[in-house]
Amino acid sequence: AVVSTQSTGTLVTTHQHLLDRETDNQDKLERERANLMKFMEEKNNDIMNFNNQLANLQMQLEQAQSSAVKWESVWTHIKNTAARQTLLLGRIKMATHNLFMLINKQMKTKAEPSESTEQQLQKIQIYIRDLTEIIQETGRQSDTK
């Protein structure tokens, strides 16, 4: 009878110990589940923040690409305008040179090949001024006769 009371006491103690351990394990499990839920919520918030940042960056990229297209168009316009202006300047220089050569031929003088367009224009201006004075003087002499 002594053995059975000891066995029963040991079984009750073991059983109580197992119940206590089960309760501790259940508490730990609940804490871990709560920690997991909190962790998952934080990570979901992080993912939403990253998605928002990604959307903002995509919008900025689209704006930058749109701006780049606009400025490429402006740059193309500038280059085309510069090309037209360069062509026009070349035509003006050629016309100036041709007029300069005609004046030199008329005056029977030899042109200096190193003269710049500006120097050629100055000589053309002098020639036109001199020719205008000659015409005016000739007109005055005709009127006095």
Measured distance CA(75)–CA(67) in Å, rounded: 12
Helix axes 2-107, 117-144, angle to 10 degrees: 40
Residue 50's identity, in one-letter code, is: F
DSSP state letter for 111: P
Closest CA to 124 of 96, 105, 83: 96
pTM to 2 decimal places: 0.56
Taking residue 100's Cβ as centre, other Cβ atoms within 10 Å add up to 19
Residue 96 is encoded by which pair of tokens? Answer: 């100036």
Measured distance CA(104)–CA(121) in Å, rounded: 12
Only one residue has tokens 């035509």, namely 91
Sign of the dihedral defined by the CA atoms of residues 112, 115, 119, 121, in that order: positive
Each residue's pLDDT expressed in tens, for the chain with a length of 145 residues:
444 667 788 999 999 999 999 999 999 999 999 999 999 999 999 999 999 999 999 999 999 999 999 999 999 999 999 999 999 999 999 999 999 999 999 888 887 767 899 999 999 999 999 999 999 999 888 777 6
